Amino acid sequence: MRGVLSPDSQGAAGGAALHSTLRELCKEAGKARMTESTPSRSYTWLFWTLAVLGLAADQATKYGVNAWLDRGDHQITVAGVQHPGFELVPRMFSLVRQQGLNQGALFGLGNDPEHGSKANLFFAGVSAIAVVAIVLWSIRSTVSGSWVLSAALGLILAGALGNLYDRLVFGGVRDFIWVYYESAQEGLLKFNFPVFNVADSCLCVGAAILLLHTFFTPAGPACTVKAPPPSPVKLGGASEQKP
């Protein structure tokens, strides 16, 4: 039996062609929208300004505080233990002279005296890779055109460079900022935050800005085209019989 396609089947073919055309138009519209939404203004200057200022502030405070504490007989007593340092806020905030260097990660994580040199070398390598990745990331148009991303990456770069300098020059990171809470009645530490520095602060603030921007920035509307429902193909015409 031989059949002939009905007009309904021709309509289905036309619908498929229309769907393909709409998809192409959607792609072109998406490209045009991306081109229009790409900002022409660059905030590369903000990225490098924060990176340089953060690095300068980190190194200036490290050299300055340690030199100042070394010159005088500055001692503080916290929870019955004496430390070389200067108390800025009684029982809460002090600048201290660490006896050793932090050869571990941020806030002294992984600071093991037995494997200090190896840990310091490992984290120095991680910091160097992070510095290269951040610089390459910052030159992307989607990043350089956003002042939020430029500021966040600039702060992260400042922190990474500050601690990387310490690891390469001193064999470890110099920490001096101590935040804690000592009970006046009991004379015990109720809160004891790890000693840190300005570079650590830059890293944390930059990472926090980056996370907030990632989670709270709405995504652009998606352009979707639904395929038309298939039309039934009907067979028409009279059947032919072979002689």
Enumerate the active-site residues: 175, 200
CA-to-CA dists, residue 81 to 15, 77, 85, angstroms: 83, 5, 12
SS3 (DSSP) at 182: strand
Q: Do residues 15 and 163 touch, judged by C-beta distance below 8 A?
A: no
**Exposed e or buried b for every residue in 92-111, given b needs 16+ CB within 10 A?**
eebbbbbeebbbbbbbbeeb
SS3 (DSSP) at 112: coil
H or E stretch including 219?
none
Burial class (CB in 10 A: 0-12, 13-18, 19+), 12: middle
**104 alpha-carbon distance from chain centroid:** 21
Q: Structure tokens of 178?
A: 């101590």
